[in-house]
Amino acid sequence: ARARQPPPRGLPWRPGANERGVRPRPRRPWARVGQRGKQRQRRSPQPFMSAPSTSAAGAAGEAHAGPDAASAGDGGELVLELLEEDEDDEACDREEAQDGWFAASQQQHELQSAGAGEAGTEAGAGPSAADEPAWKDYATVFTNDKAGMGDNMVHSKEHVQRVVYEMSQGSPHFENERRKERAADERASRMEAHVRAATEQALQAARRRADAALTALELTRRSDRAWALFDMDQFFFAVHAQKDPKLHEVPVAVGGIGMISTANYAARRYGVRSAMPGFIAKKLCPQLTFVRSDFAEYSRVSKLFGEALRPFDPEGTAYQAGLDECYVDLKAASAARDETPAETCAAARAAIKAATGITVSAGLAPSRQLAKVASDLNKPDGQYVLPSNRGAVVACAR
């Protein structure tokens, strides 16, 4: 056998170490043969809550790994390595592997238990399940209101929510939404428990810190800007409707059975909206017509949109947030035109419509974020002006 060199820099020698004095870590659990040809025993994964293996290898592994391994046996795949050398180091390696396998298995077990509980609730076990159906607690982007979803809806909001819930069950999106809901509930419970456990002195200190933060933020408030957000109404659909005006008469969605980019106001009366899968939209509105997307045409019209706003932006503040949205500070333009910002905003909307043939909604406010909120308050083909005074801004934010 080749003589081994002593480890450099006075490192302690370890059995099985290489020339640098470092003992290689054991191979991964799925390796059938370990170092030096040592056979590794692997117990196949057991179902949750099943009895532990009674084989000789399993018993030897539990005795070798100690009580921690035995307690983790119900957590999933437990890898038992029977190596004859350096037992202390291998025990550490096994504990790391056991922790990882156990954590993953425990998470899967919790998800399965939660799913079983939800299935029981949906089945209607008793009067309480009938009083509080599961779909009432399900909230997603598909059920949020959008411009055009007002009092003239064909379906009630509850009907839309129920259809979305029933059509989404079993999908990865549905499971992810439920996971986020559970996580949010857990965070809320922890926060409530933290508040209940806080003393009056701690609460007063927290209020003082919050008041100080609000005071500091108040000093940064600006009222010398006139930010406007211009949002082209039902943009993708409007581009197609210019070529085929008959589309205005029927419910139309741009996209396909997988996902919808936007829907016209006739379709929104049925609860159909952007970011909704097409198969759910078809369930809500069986007569829905799909139109294929044409991003080359969208880009052409969007370019006209930006060019129409250029005369209203002498300082170059424009920020196009998408194909159909653009922020512009109208303060300089309104001063140059000897107009109020609201009048300049109306003139800009008229210029956009003349250039593109599409109506535009706008929000005017002292900040871009507030302008975005204001742009949704008077749709379609309207504008909302949020005054710069603090009272109006706080009321709008609430």
Determine the 3-state secondary structure of 290 from DSSP: strand
Report the alpha-carbon distance of residue 238 to residue 227 in Å, rounded: 25
Give the residue among 118, 132, 141, 41 at the shortest CA–CA distance from 83.
41
Check 62, 81, 177, 325 and give the catalytic one.
Answer: 325
Distance between CA 322 and CA 330 in Å, rounded? 19
Residue 373 region, left (φ>0) first, then alpha (ψ -120 to 50), else beta?
alpha
Is 249 in the active site? no
Phi and psi angles of residue 365, each rounded to the nearest 5 degrees, phi first: -155, 170
Residue 40 DSSP class: -
Distance of CA 279 to the CA centre of its chain: 21
Q: For 298, list phi and psi in degrees, rounded to 5.
A: -60, -40
Residue 218 to residue 391: CA distance in whole angstroms: 12
If 0-12 CB within 10 Å is exposed, 13-18 middle and 19+ buried, where does residue 189 land? exposed
Quick check: 328 and 312 in contact, CB under 8 A?
yes
Helix, strand, or coil (residue 315): coil
**DSSP code per residue over 203-253:** HHHHHHHHHHHHHHHHTT---S--EEEEEETTHHHHHHHHH-GGGGGS-EE
Long-range Cβ pairs for the range 210-216 (8 Å, 24+): none
Residue 12: is the preceding peptide bond cis (ω within 30°)?
A: no
Q: What amino acid occupies position 180?
A: K
Strand spans (E) along the chain = 227-232, 252-255, 260-263, 289-291, 319-320, 325-329, 360-365, 383-385
C-beta neighbour count of 334 within 10 angstroms:
20
Active-site annotation, residues: 325
